[in-house]
Structure 1
């Protein structure tokens, strides 16, 4: 069984991290899997792992890949509502022709992941489908079943037909989202496609959509190396400050809900003056709100090493994830594997990851007060060691490499046997 996995990036962004982890897990289980990455290796901060090949592997190819990325952005620029949505909508007009790549030709099965930003166009997707090989597509956001946005922000037009898109400067009945929606319908017609979702939440959204509702769907969570993301010896609690951790690739991304975290801390300070946690924050961007928090804040900056990220989780008494929209956040997965409880909103796939009051705390989405209640729950828990043990056990049972790779292998074998028969 020869599988080719497609991803725009190797490590940049949550979807790429999840894809690279699955690739490694599959190889650990003996699958002949190649990860074909759309960008150049020089754009990555990590060395390529075995079985990883880059489409942009020389100067000309790198320039071409960058040109496709720029062309995608320029195509959307006249239509965008404002600069804040510039990278939240992908028209998928420009992309590479992959049909003649050796990894594609030699593969028995094609496994798509996140392929936006100039890696695959809708025409390129159609060309891959036309090869007739089984195609698995793991979705990391909602883009595959919308007219172009990666997260809908509550818009439900994808259930019927996208139009009057809130991401566009001039929403209309036949706007850019409507036209790209039609193009996706053309690209998907007759596709040998099986859709995989890391979360039940995303699966339910896709099943209800016009574009993907007619395809088979399966939920398989993301995975990670639980020897790296593992509990570490913690110093004695006496004399050590309690710590709350907030982390995101971009701290200032409104979707990640930092403002709700800030408000929850102000409520916690007013309602529980005896609690004095230290706040740890990692990720790109520095929010002006840092200086307004009622507790000591330590900014860890952008953490790229898995060992450093795991150390941050192990230093914290809880991870706080007030995301307003999210699929199956890697941060929650990593924290639980390190035995760190998680406090988060009941949104997206997060409720599927946290067992309320056992491995963390679930608050109503958008409620700073309930988020503050969750912080107080963790900080005043009479047996924090049990919370940590339950968090780790939950992660082992649900997200280990052997478990998740095994579920993918079963799917691959089923699709390949159907093709033979």
Structure 2
């Protein structure tokens, strides 16, 4: 009679037992084989892993149904299976997104004679870069000769022309993976590792756009390799330095992106062939030989692109952001009424500062603002000066400030934000590095002058001593001098008029849409010429 072999006893916690345990790498490979099977990865082997054997058949089939979009009854459990927790993360994972579950944008259906433009952005309204991309999309929609649509990873608006290109669960997986890789790398500043190879080009090509305009594509939305499969001509609106570096979004005082990265200070690395060098090589292989026109939001950012080894030599044009001047405009309700609505004092001089992460992001210049506030606190009228700070604090306790300070938290509504600008005496934007300076543009559109540092993106917006003040880069004393200049200006109405004139001349939807439309037409004509050009015989 056949008997089952006895189950061996569990190893005791000895050094021998520890040696017999699977290594972290083996555990990781086993989990990844399972996840690749569940996600339908191209090239995934059907063989079961050791991890599979620990799952009951019922749980296993429920997970397969969930990840393939076939959960019984059409519903989904309250919490997704946490397949990414407590494991090591590879440099790259391949996921096949070629079969989207969501309807694609209605591109090509509005005007058969219009130019079809598809924007790729991680979000439409989730953050400053996303808002800039969405505002361009809105500006182009006002033109009869252009059909504009957006393909995003995370949709916030209710715009029918904006579509999430894959199920929300897959997007959460992508963002989670990026975060886990980022946590493993432990960068000292924001770093996008582009760990996922996501073949999004299948959906893009299926839409048959005339032009594809890339924007901010981090958080697992787009990998460098995806660009090589896009058939339409590419325009990339640079919203930070990530397209030209080995992973960081702002290089700060590092110039290694001019060569090949490596020894990355953002990763505290002393190795020439570190993650930044490897990502730089991936980008180089994807960028090289692929026609691409670059749009920089400012002359500072255009100069950074020309200096870089990845983007130097490519055509780079400067087209600034724009905004809806029917929303961001001076208020006719009076300063006292606006401040009362916002819960701010009517009899104080208000200095406004705002950022997405005002306390933690060193680049936003909160430290410089605080040092300038120490100098302003020595003025005879210091008791009449108050700071107003908007932006998420992420649970932090606000620090003690030299001047009385109101921390408002996030302000997500554009009309409320416009009221805040209009109710302030001036806005200070002490960013040390900034691709553009949307806060400065928004403030000036509401008639409020701006103090900022020279040598970065906002320097294109602010005209020194005309509609604001350009302080020396990083100089807190000169920043305080600029704030004092605006507070003591004998003709504040002149500052307001100059600010409004600058916005009307440079930052309207109409002007931005015209500049992009002209650029798209030029790129399209060049692409057609390249297709018709006779090829040299080999």
Give TM-score scaled by structure 1 length: 0.92
Aligned to 1:179: 278
* 145 and 29 in structure 1: CA distance in 2 versus 1, 3 angstrom threshold: same
Cα contact 1:5–1:23 (8 A) shared by 2: yes
Matching residue of 1:51:
161
The residue that corresponds to 1:267 in the other structure is 375
Q: Which residue of 2 aligns with 1:328?
A: 436
What's the CA shift for 1:100?
Answer: 2.4
Query: Which residue does the alignment assign to 1:21?
Result: 135
Cα distance in structure 1, aligned partners of 2:346 and 2:222 = 54
**Pairing of 1:282-361 with structure 2 (within 5 A):** 282-285=390-393, 290=398, 292-361=400-469
Residues 335 and 423 of structure 2 are in contact (CA less than 8 Å); yes or no, is this contact kept in structure 1?
Answer: no
Between the two structures, name the one with larger relative contact order (CA 8 Å, sep ≥ 6). 1
| 1:113-132 deviation line (CA, Å, top 9, x unaligned) | 0011100011112222xx2x
Question: What is the alpha-carbon distance in structure 1 between the residues aligned to residue 349 and residue 205 of structure 2?
Answer: 50
The 1-side partners of 2:269 and 2:300 are apart by 30
Q: Measure, in 1, the Cα distance between the counterparts of 2:397 and 2:481.
A: 21
1:220 is aligned to 319
1:33 aligns with 2:148: yes
- Deviation (angstroms), 1:419: 2.1
Rg larger in 1 or in 2? 2
Q: Report 1:371-390 matches (<5 A).
A: 371-390=479-498
Q: Distance in 2 between matches of 1:265 and 1:190?
A: 51
Counterpart residue number, 2:474: 366
C-alpha spacing 1:312/1:95, structure 2 compared with 1 (3 Å) = farther
Q: CA deviation at 1:240?
A: 2.9
Runs of 5+ unmatched residues, structure 2: 1-114, 337-344, 530-538
**Quick check: 1:65 aligned with 2:171?**
yes
**2:506 matched to which residue of 1?**
398
Matching residue of 2:261: 162
**Equivalent in the alignment of 2:517:** 409
Q: Which residue of 1 aligns with 2:291?
A: 192
Mapped to 2, the partners of 1:134 and 1:375 lie a distance apart of 45
3-state DSSP of counterpart to 2:165: strand
Relative to structure 1, the CA distance from residue 206 to residue 297 in structure 2 (aligned partners, 3 Å threshold; closer, same or farther) is same
Shift of 1:289: 8.5
Distance 1:272 1:89 in 2: 44
Instruction: For 1:287 and 1:276, locate their aligned partners in 2 and report how far apart those are by CA, in whole Å.
Output: 29
Q: Hey, what's the Cα distance between the residues in 2 that align with 1:154 and 1:89?
A: 15
Over 3 Å counting, the alpha-carbon distance change for 1:190 and 1:270 in structure 2 is: same
**Paired residue for 2:183?**
77
**Cα distance between partner residues in 2 of 1:245 and 1:287:** 21
CA-to-aligned-CA distance 1:239-294 (integer Å, 9 cap, x gap): 73211101111111211111111111110121444662222111000797955323
Change (3 A) 1:51 1:383: same
Aligned residues: 405
Report deviation, 1:151.
0.5
In structure 2, the residue matched to 1:203 is 302
Report the equivalent of 2:350: 243
Unaligned runs of 5+ in 1: none
Partner of 1:10: 124
Aligned to 1:279: 387
* 1:48-78 C-alpha deviation (Å, 9 max, x unpaired): 224211113xxxx211111111222223333
1:97 is aligned to 199
Q: Deviations over 1:85-125 (max 9, x none)?
A: 3xx11121215322222675320111000011100011112
Q: 2:335·2:422 contact (CA, 8 Å) conserved in 1?
A: no
Per-residue CA deviations over 1:185-244 (Å, capped at 9, x if unaligned) read 100111120010000100011011111112111000001101100011263789732111
| C-alpha distance in 2 between matches for 1:119 and 1:208 | 26
Kindly tell me: are residues 311 and 210 of structure 1, through their superposed partners in 2, closer, same or farther at Cα, counting changes over 3 Å?
A: same
Q: 1:231 aligns with which of 288, 307, 330?
A: 330
Find the aligned partners of 2:256 and 2:394 in 1 and give their Cα distance.
34
Query: Distance in 2 between the 1:180 and 1:346 partners?
Result: 31
Distance 1:272 1:321, change over 3 A: farther
